[in-house]
Chains A and B, each alone.
Chain A
């Protein structure tokens, strides 16, 4: 699971009102080299919950020096975009789980793939 995906996910456990962001408990994290595409990163930034991205990167130890607040004019800032590229697309959680911050329900991540299926009681 990439942090771009994590940024877009929320808990869907029944009755939960504050299910975002999901907490990441990782036992294995991998970094894949990937072509840097400044256009895509610039397009994604306005769609992101910036705080959640920085927090997730911090939790996994890949924050680099990303600021807590999104900077202005990031389109022109290649160095910044490269860092965002890294956390969005290169850092991958391979094993671990996602945890609903409110209900505590956990969703396993195996071989890099989250399993978001609910049991009958939380559906």
Chain B
């Protein structure tokens, strides 16, 4: 048996963006799992650090992770590292010369970058740092514009902006392999998206959800609460075929009031399909339908490779399902409401999640993933409150703060077995789950908690959405 490192003794350094910190590890793990590779950190691994050192991988593995990751900025083949310049030097001089030479011979061109985390260096200081690497056997020519190989000196000055040390806490040197997909956060921003709504999911988080769900080319993905289709946009970008449902006729048909400041009504082609067209993925569009997620319309079969969704619970949309409470039939805006919209009644939070887990247990392929958001009233949260199902194994649970008292958690589950009769209601008996059964009590707390904002960040979050 080969030991994990014998096939490749190389180590790779991943430089991660310092936002959505909680979401990074599940993302990288899921992307490695897509390659059938385990997550093998080197010694002294610290999840909060922007630098992770991994082993047991090939360059191809690393490239394929970077082709998907929105949490990672860049990846490097790690040649040396240490706490001081001296340590770095001896570490680099220990690196096998035969592993260096293919990238340093005299016909090659190269460039060295200096990257500092939590500190800005003057140009002269950067040059000094590069000059100090003269013990490395570079024989090629420097080319700033079109180098064949890029090397990088990365210095970590900690994570506290109020306490920046004189010298770095840690230094790395490596050969650049690939950048991640941070650029997509800008190119896919909802700001410039054709069709949006009040609860359109931010592009970065949509892509992270897609990665947590292990979405891959030629998958079929379903969003039962599709809204304006932000999650479908992200999935289709990675080559998956997509479909969705929403109870709201106007949303699905792209009618009604616009969510844009300076525009009153939605234009003629503002719909989910046009959103995919905008990003060149219309060919991945299967269908969207007007449908109530509490009354599923799909035949009982393992149809979907992943179910990715942001269920309704917010202030901006009603949680509802079709039913027979007449007093709720008042339709606010007669101009745009179709005559056949049935009456709606409150859709209790606990039912939303029970239905979603049950549906996923039946309609996911084995090994397929469910990824969804769970609203949290923080003072009362404990991990046991997260809904469970005997066919779904919890993979990750990441928190995004909304205020000091409220947050939402991105829950990822994987289908591990086909459901049997006895599985249907098993999880309902779990006492912890009752938090969401007092639907209105929860909502009251949640929304009063939302008003207790902790700072500017929250305001930004709400305006953006």
Which A residues fall within an 8 A CB radius of B?
A: 1-2, 4-5, 8-10, 12, 20, 34-35, 37, 39-40, 43-44, 47, 49, 89, 108, 110-120, 123
Which B residues fall within an 8 A CB radius of A?
A: 217-218, 220, 241, 243, 245, 247, 249, 252-253, 283, 286-292, 295-303, 322-324, 340-343
- Residues of A near B297 (CB, < 8 A) are 9-10, 12, 116
- Residues of B near A49 (CB, < 8 A) are 299
- Residues of B near A108 (CB, < 8 A) are 340
The answer on a CB contact under 8 Å between B292 and A117 is yes
The answer on a CB contact under 8 Å between B303 and A117 is no
The answer on a CB contact under 8 Å between A123 and B322 is yes
Q: How far is the CA of A116 from the CA of B291 in the complex (A)?
A: 5
The answer on a CB contact under 8 Å between B322 and A117 is yes
Residue of A nearest to B294 (CB): A123
The answer on a CB contact under 8 Å between A120 and B323 is yes
The answer on a CB contact under 8 Å between A117 and B341 is yes
Residue of B nearest to A120 (CB): B324
- What is the distance, in angstroms, from B195's C-beta to the closest C-beta of chain A? 14
- Residues of A near B299 (CB, < 8 A) are 8-10, 20, 49
The answer on a CB contact under 8 Å between B253 and A113 is yes
The answer on a CB contact under 8 Å between B303 and A118 is no
The answer on a CB contact under 8 Å between A115 and B290 is yes
The answer on a CB contact under 8 Å between B253 and A111 is yes
List 10 A–B pairs whose Cβ atoms lie within 8 Å, in order of A's numbering: A10-B300, A44-B220, A47-B302, A89-B286, A113-B287, A114-B290, A116-B245, A116-B292, A119-B340, A120-B343
Partner of B287 from the list A2, A12, A43, A117 (CB cut-off 8 Å) is A2
- Residues of B near A112 (CB, < 8 A) are 287
Q: How far is the CA of A75 from the CA of B416 in the complex (A)?
A: 28
- Residues of A near B288 (CB, < 8 A) are 113
* With A5-B243, A9-B297: A123-B289 Cβ-Cβ less than 8 Å: no
- What is the distance, in angstroms, from B166's C-beta to the closest C-beta of chain A? 56
- Residues of A near B218 (CB, < 8 A) are 37, 39-40, 43
The answer on a CB contact under 8 Å between A47 and B301 is yes
- What is the distance, in angstroms, from A78's C-beta to the closest C-beta of chain B? 16
The answer on a CB contact under 8 Å between B287 and A1 is yes
- Residues of A near B340 (CB, < 8 A) are 108, 115, 117, 119
Residue of B nearest to A115 (CB): B290
- Residues of B near A5 (CB, < 8 A) are 243, 286-287, 289
Q: How far is the CA of A109 from the CA of B245 in the complex (A)?
A: 14
Closest 10 CB pairs of A and B: A120-B324, A116-B291, A10-B299, A5-B287, A115-B290, A40-B218, A116-B297, A114-B289, A39-B218, A35-B283
The answer on a CB contact under 8 Å between B286 and A117 is no
